[in-house]
Amino acid sequence: MNVGAVISAVATIAWIVAIVVIGIAVVRATRGQPFRGAIGLIIGSIVIALIATVISASIIFVQPTDRGVVISALDEGIRPVELQPGLNFVVPFLENVLHYPVERQTYTMSIAPQEGQIVGDDSVEARTSDGQVVRVDASVIFALDPGDVVNTHKLWQGRYVDNLIRPVARGIIRDAVSQFAIEEVYSTQRFALSALIEGALSTALEEGGLILHDFVLRNIAFSPEYAASVEQKQIAEQEAERAVFVVQQREQEANQARATASGQADAVVINAQGLADARVIEAEAEATALELLAAALALNPDLVTFEYVQRLGPGIQVMLVPTDNPFLLPLPSLEGSTTGTTTIEPTAP
């Protein structure tokens, strides 16, 4: 609760009471009606009002977000130390207190009519190193140095925004932009531009008793002609990138087709090689089988006769052969078979 405001309200009420009592006493006196105790009531009200007024004038409450600068008729015009937050006392009627905010403040210069502190286009017009004109939107976030408020008051008399923030920031922005080319401003060197402005602005504000907390490079606008040329350049670059992509896609398709053909050719070769290997293996197997058969016949010559007989049907009684062909087998040896009699008769050719 602001004690000074309460006491000031008490003083106001006391003065009102005193004035009302004086008015009533005057009216009754003109009518010849005595007002007993009027003098005492008037004096008491005036005394209370005077005391409350003096006390309220000597008590100053400073908000936590403020600092107080005391303008004094006793101490060389101004107290050297600012008032801290809370309840403070000054000499009534000889000292006056100016309240300065020490919380963060934002000053915006914008091309949009309703965004900045000044209505209308308040952006910073600057020229790049290659002669192009740009308009810069920016915000300066700053605060008064809580320990240097008295000196700030001496320097600026409360006009630090109009006499320091605005002109210095605009000048620094113009100087910084002039060190970069137009393409660097909106692309590769945008952060370098912002850092350059912030460093120079921080030094300038520190010398003026202010603290720079942040500089925001909100937007950079170009002239309509340059904006159109940039758009055309971007379109051309996109078309070029698209053409490169198409070429790469065609190369990938060609590589894929070559890989497919190579794979098919390899498959044919592998298949042919497999068939050849199979024939070789088959031939080797047949050769081995013939070698084994020849070895078996060499050891047992009658094996051919036995196999021949085994392959004859069981019901064959007579077998005819041409008269001019020799017998391949020693068939007469079969005459003693118990299963039946086999007759070999030559036939005419």
| DSSP assignment of 148-192 | GHHHHHHHHTT-HIIIIIHHHHHHHHHHHHTTS-HHHHHTTTHHH
Domain shared by 120 and 89, yes or no: no
Mean pLDDT of 296-300: 75
Residue ending a domain, among 58, 74, 101, is 101
Domain shared by 164 and 89, yes or no: no
| Least confident range of 82-96, 139-153, 168-182 | 82-96
Identify whether 326 is part of a domain: yes
Identify whether 228 is part of a domain: no
Give the integer Cα–Cα distance in Å for 149 and 97: 12
Domain shared by 174 and 121, yes or no: yes
pLDDT at position 309: 65
Residue ending a domain, among 190, 222, 254, is 222
Domain shared by 113 and 177, yes or no: yes
pLDDT of 130 over the 80 cut: yes
Domain shared by 92 and 127, yes or no: no
Could you tell me the pLDDT band of residue 167, with boundaries at 50, 70 and 90?
very high
DSSP assignment letter at 205: H
CATH number where 131 lies: 3.30.479.30
Domain shared by 166 and 83, yes or no: no
Identify whether 182 is part of a domain: yes
Domain count, the chain: 3
Mean pLDDT of 173-193: 89
Identify whether 121 is part of a domain: yes
Q: In this prediction, what percent of the chain has a pLDDT beyond 70?
A: 81
pLDDT at position 230: 66
Domain shared by 44 and 77, yes or no: yes
Beta strands in 206-342 (DSSP E): 210-222, 318-322
Identify whether 117 is part of a domain: yes
Domain shared by 33 and 120, yes or no: no
Domain shared by 195 and 215, yes or no: yes
pLDDT of 135 over the 60 cut: yes
Mean pLDDT of 233-243: 74
- CA 19-21-23 angle, to 5 degrees, is 70
| Least confident range of 114-123, 205-214, 289-298, 321-330 | 321-330
Could you tell me the pLDDT band of residue 340, with boundaries at 50, 70 and 90?
very low
Identify whether 210 is part of a domain: yes
Domain shared by 64 and 122, yes or no: no
Which of 136, 134, 121, 131 is CA-nearest to residue 227? 134
pLDDT at position 197: 95
pLDDT of 235 over the 80 cut: no
Could you tell me the pLDDT band of residue 320, with boundaries at 50, 70 and 90?
low
Give the integer Cα–Cα distance in Å for 308 and 315: 15
Domain shared by 177 and 137, yes or no: yes
Return mean pLDDT, the chain: 81
| Least confident range of 77-91, 251-265, 320-334 | 320-334
pLDDT at position 141: 96
Residue ending a domain, among 62, 79, 101, is 101
pLDDT of 125 over the 50 cut: yes
pLDDT of 344 over the 60 cut: no
Domain shared by 97 and 109, yes or no: no
Range of the domain at 331: 313-347
Identify whether 119 is part of a domain: yes
Identify whether 65 is part of a domain: yes
